[in-house]
Chains A and B, each alone.
Chain A
């Protein structure tokens, strides 16, 4: 096929792109104009607003390479923000970019930021497009429904295609368990079992001290303690503060006791559990799959995983990321084609190989690479049987700031758990009311 573009084709596909933009602007179904993919000799530019680590950047660079094999005349710019300083900051920069008229065609964001981008009308709804595109439908069908649904808007529409995900699961050192004469933790262990185990694993003094557990001390990392007690920071519909739930108080007291009463976890300020765990200073911590990239690169192998200990439930938490087409995209059909490569099975396979976050497709994990390390790697996807997304309203950054600020004071003993949660509940309730007003316009 000739690389030249005829005048007729130019008019046809420019018109297609413009019609897509117009359709989105006027609320028409995109499927009406996106019935077919642009031809392979389409020329143009695409900009991805993206985030992640260096290894992920390389992974997505390979996806862009595959896209360029199909569309050699399209220049793709990957605006890569290594790790955003909070999702609020990431979204603000995105808004500034859009407001300045700078191009953004594809938006990558974590679940914590999806609602805000939907509310601010930054991304295109995709249900109609998916219905008319078998490739996109296949991508959606291959992803676990719970992951796909979590990224939907409050209106039930699909805006994002799942990029990756992480749950919270216990990472433990089997060697330290064996040394302490402990069996590997049961998959249905309780908070009491966990505490007893952590106490056994805590010993030594000064520089030789070993702790049973290092708290993953951040909003997402703490959430399994709430979920396994059948509660959360927000109500089920993410519209009201739930910090006055007695089960929240019970959970926060338990977390506090791990450091201050039982001494099985080091104090939380200045501690990086993902340094202490491979260093052997702690025998257990909690994380998703993301530390495995570091474990693999440093050849650290003394690790296995087990579900979070339960109180009233076995529910853990997950967070995911997604790809969306920006409402300001110049060429929507082309952006959709690029998303097909970014969200392709090959990308998931690479994610498995480098040991970063979990891939969107379970099928990408059904191989030796994934299942050889850790020994119970199947438990990552196994956790999907009983899991909830991290509460992520449009004001997530504010929620996180309010909650963690008060948790800090509780963990620093400057507020009791009762006082801290009460104050946080008042502040969060006001923030959620303000959000409701903002949503109502």
Chain B
């Protein structure tokens, strides 16, 4: 090599320059490939939203939100679907948030390092990888038939709560882990018990992180279709769940919690129903409803991303 270099330096320099140029070209090409791949993702999101907005534009008016599903495409609306989605989310949030936060608190602040804790941890990791339709089968066997909740808002809400529980637990644990030990030490040094430390320090400080996880979990739950279809939710519902304390005929009044046992439909099921009909008129409805659902999910995700961004910028222990 060295004799080669001394006899013909220019040739070698050119060779090396060419090699470097080729390497740089490959770098640039790969970077371009990376941007193209990212661009495909962006194009898909954009195409989805644009297609649904354009196709469904005519149907996106107030009537669409206040009409029940109908056999005539132009008169069909999503009233029962969005009310159902909202109520199911309410049950899901009320179940998953306390359970998830409590479980996260236990694992981070209370649990001793032993085999029970290890089983719980491995279990949560594995649950996150279980297909959502399997949760539907669990709910069909346990909630619908064993507990006798039927095909109700309660069954659906509990199913989705179990589905997003791992998300809430993991978010809670990560938020708690970011709180430095000195906070706990300071609290306990002035005589607070473990629970008082959790109640007045750990949970409030972890709140933004927990909230981010909860919103992402709920955004996932509101778009879930498979588990809810599996518990056998009806697709054609032209009534709303009973409002508490209103008359439901024959002088009877609805109880405060009657709505949880009511049959229901949700946005994704309504979209599925409309998408799978051969009549193209319903395609327009599916597009409009899909646009509404996308708007809900993207807003929730955007709020979560913004919250996390803000959180990362502000807190410095």
Asked whether A and B interact, the reply is no
